[in-house]
Amino acid sequence: MKTNKLFILYFIFSLFTIKIVGKPETTFNKKSKILYVYDPFEGFNRRVYYFNYGLDKYILFPIINAYNFITPNFVQKGVHNFFDNNRMIKVAANSLLQFKIKKAMRAVGRFSINASAGFGGLIDTSSALGMPIPYEDFGLTLAHYGVGTGPYLVLPIFGPSNLRDAIGRGVDAISLAYLDPYLAAELYREQSKPLTALDGLDTRKRTSFRYYSTGSPFEYEYLRLLYAKYREIQVKANKTNTAK
């Protein structure tokens, strides 16, 4: 009799334990799916991540510090405005590929106003006039037509990306070389090596992230997740955008 009572108590306790222990496991599985990023090249990506850290520390930031010391702030602002304005060419082209005519017109409008009334784009006249700043890239264009992200990648110099966005970055760079209005006007080549280097310098200078600055052993994972979610939000916003 005592044995039966002990068995019943043990059975009830076992059910209770399974219920309590099993619930966190289900929650963990749900969370793990949310946090999961497809990264089959993690070993390679981590090596590139460390390479980018060394590039920042020993080459890029010493140059950026010298650039900040030598160049007046208003000149730096003009350089930034110039490259930002040139990116409107990429935005217009990708908007047209997605048949977002109004967005393409806004991008062309911003570029034209800044290029003419803003001394070649050195002054952001269009923002002073209250014009919105549209954004598109070829990675978003591919996503618009259902192309998946592919594996996560850490690109040399450029940092976090994925296969779709890496292809998109390359296509954007090539298309800008062909659509360069300054080259068509025989003024200069916007994709020349000095200007490309200056554009990269300006972009890195204005990117606040610093490799291995968080002090966390999970920095690589955090950045990977952050990039994946950031692009996911951009893709969703792009699909819900009704601008044609």
- What's the pLDDT tens digit per position in 185-205? 555 565 678 888 999 999 999
pLDDT in tens, 93-109: 999 999 999 999 999 99
The residues spanned by each domain of the chain are: 41-240
List alpha helices for 36-162, DSSP H: 42-55, 61-70, 73-97, 101-117, 125-128, 138-144
Q: For residue 85, count other CB atoms closer than 10 A to its CB.
A: 23
Euclidean distance between CA atoms 157 and 52, whole angstroms = 6
Separation of alpha carbons 180 and 156, rounded Å: 25
Spatial CA neighbour of 132 closest among 148, 156, 113:
113
pLDDT over 90, % of the chain? 72
The first and second tokens of residue 15, run together, are 């059910």
